[in-house]
A and B are shown apart, each in its own frame.
Chain A
Amino acid sequence: MDQLDEHEELFDRYLLGHMTDEERTAFIQKLEGDRALNEEFNTYQIIYEGITQAGSTGLKEKLQKREEILRSGSKKATTPFFWKVAAAVAVIAVTGFLIWSVIRPVDYQGIYTYLYEPYPNIINPVDRSSASIEDIYQAYERGKYHEVIAELRKQDHSDTSHFYLGQAYLATGQIDLAISSLGNVPETSRFSEPAQWYKALAYLTKEDSEKLKTVLEEIKTSGGSYSKRASRLLDEL
């Protein structure tokens, strides 16, 4: 056990604001009287701030992506041609709008772009049974999906390999193969819920509204951790 094991919880409780006033005062006094601890905390705090920066930047990037989608939508709607036509045939446009509002085309690709993010690699290094498996998941983390596909196809048909093979297919745009691999993840697997969600995303990008809605309804009624997302996506559709 090193110093970090010993102090991690204490530092976290201070930085995350989980200490009482008395505990905070005692902690600060302890830092003032212990140079080594102070130095260790200083490093810990700087890393914590870097992580917070990464979190806020990542979230801002998601909003930037949304902004791009919103702008591309509004540009399409404000082309001069549209307005000329709209002015000339106002009655038709109004009628068209009424029809459009009923059978409004869904921006499947826009929604997919916003929602899709490769599932993180959560295969714990200690769970990886061999060096080659370690390499596969390292390649996955680096986004080398074609390598992942080549290697995982050689592996046993575990739920994990089906799931990550499906992820790699999805990331490389091989949608039908992704649906098939994700469909092979058994219901008892810890990847069952995310597999269903990613299968829904695959149907989304394939613009197969019927199957998409079926999978989303299943996720919604399952009451699992993706059910709210599924419900909201159904509303959007």
Chain B
Amino acid sequence: MEKSGSDFFERLKKGDESALISIYETYRGEFFQWCMSGFSADEDEAADIFQESVVALYYNVRNGRLTELSSTLKTYLFAIGKNIALKKLKKDAKMIVNDELLEINSGLVTEDLFEKTEQQKVIAELLNEMGDPCKSILTLFYFDRFAMDAIASRLGYKNEHVVKSQKLRCFKHLKKLVLERYNQDEI
């Protein structure tokens, strides 16, 4: 395995978000070239696909779906990119995409992080409106998958118990806002 790739992977496993920037800058040029020539994407589309691929890679590592690399990090990243590119092209009717092509890589991105429902968008907006500390605590816990003690240390809380109580308060507040927006039946 290439050394930088395995180093990046270990840093991601530890939750080092800055590794994402290193990954972004290391593979960006090659990915853009590959995406633009292989999928007829323009530069903006290639950037969009690459950004989503890097986020998906991070999420898969953080949620424990990817614990070991059976190939290089680059191969894995490009395989995710291929899946995302094919989905986007299919959606934009730029290409007739055989679903079998997508299935080859279906184990790589088992959920589409960026295919939002209207309801998810609204909830994400409500969370943004709530601001910090709730936004940071809830995203660090559910998206970045940090343990309570790690969140306490990152955000300067006294201990994990304080964060745990705050997280529950934040969740309840968000739930209240969601239920004010939607009827229980609509959810």
Using a CB–CB cutoff of 8 Å, the interface residues on chain A facing chain B are 2, 4-5, 8, 15-17, 39, 42-44, 46-60, 62-64, 66-67, 70, 114, 120-122, 124, 141-142, 190-191, 193-194, 225, 228-229, 232
Q: Give the dominant DSSP class at A's interface.
A: helix
Is B171 touching A4 in the complex (CB atoms < 8 A)?
yes
Q: Give the dominant DSSP class at B's interface.
A: helix
Name the one of B116, B153, B156, B171 contacting A191, with C-beta atoms under 8 angstroms: B156
Given contacts A8-B171, A70-B25, A194-B156, contact A42 B187 (CB under 8 A): yes
- Could you say which residues of chain A place their CB within 8 Å of the CB of B127? 50-51, 54
Is A4 touching B133 in the complex (CB atoms < 8 A)?
no
Is A52 touching B187 in the complex (CB atoms < 8 A)?
no
Within 8 Å of chain A (Cβ to Cβ): is B55? yes
Is A120 touching B51 in the complex (CB atoms < 8 A)?
no
Q: How far is the CB of B123 from chain A (nearest CB, A)?
A: 2
Within 8 Å of chain A (Cβ to Cβ): is B104? no
- Could you say which residues of chain B place their CB within 8 Å of the CB of A121? 131-133
Name the one of B113, B133, B158, B166 contacting A53, with C-beta atoms under 8 angstroms: B113
Q: How far is the CB of A137 from chain B (nearest CB, A)?
A: 10
The 8 A CB mask of B132-175 against A (1 = contact, 0 = none) is: 11011011001111000000011111100010001010011011
Is B124 touching A190 in the complex (CB atoms < 8 A)?
no
Q: How far is the CB of B165 from chain A (nearest CB, A)?
A: 9
Q: How far is the CB of A217 from chain B (nearest CB, A)?
A: 18
Within 8 Å of chain A (Cβ to Cβ): is B178? yes
B-side interface size class: 35 or more
Is A46 touching B119 in the complex (CB atoms < 8 A)?
yes
A44 to B168, CA, bound (A): 12
Is B18 touching A55 in the complex (CB atoms < 8 A)?
no
Is B132 touching A120 in the complex (CB atoms < 8 A)?
yes
Name the one of A48, A67, A141 contacting B132, with C-beta atoms under 8 angstroms: A141
A46 and chain B: residue at smallest CB distance: B187
Name the one of A15, A39, A54, A67 contacting B128, with C-beta atoms under 8 angstroms: A54
Given contacts A47-B123, A47-B174, A63-B55, contact A54 B143 (CB under 8 A): yes
Is B143 touching A56 in the complex (CB atoms < 8 A)?
yes
Within 8 Å of chain A (Cβ to Cβ): is B21? yes
Given contacts A5-B168, A42-B187, contact A54 B135 (CB under 8 A): yes
- Which of B56-64, B68-76, B93-101 is the interface stretch? B56-64
Is B25 touching A122 in the complex (CB atoms < 8 A)?
no
A59 to B113, CA, bound (A): 11
A15 to B52, CA, bound (A): 22
Q: How far is the CB of A96 from chain B (nearest CB, A)?
A: 23
A230 to B121, CA, bound (A): 35
Is B162 touching A229 in the complex (CB atoms < 8 A)?
no
Is B171 touching A55 in the complex (CB atoms < 8 A)?
no
- Could you say which residues of chain B place their CB within 8 Å of the CB of A122? 132-133, 136, 155-157
| In the complex, the 6 A-B pairs of residues with the closest C-beta atoms, listed nearest first | A50-B123, A55-B143, A120-B132, A54-B124, A141-B131, A55-B139
Is A120 touching B133 in the complex (CB atoms < 8 A)?
yes
A60 to B58, CA, bound (A): 11
Is B131 touching A142 in the complex (CB atoms < 8 A)?
yes
Is B168 touching A8 in the complex (CB atoms < 8 A)?
yes
Q: How far is the CB of A204 from chain B (nearest CB, A)?
A: 15
Is B133 touching A232 in the complex (CB atoms < 8 A)?
no
- Could you say which residues of chain A place their CB within 8 Å of the CB of B28? 70
B56 and chain A: residue at smallest CB distance: A56
Is B59 touching A56 in the complex (CB atoms < 8 A)?
yes
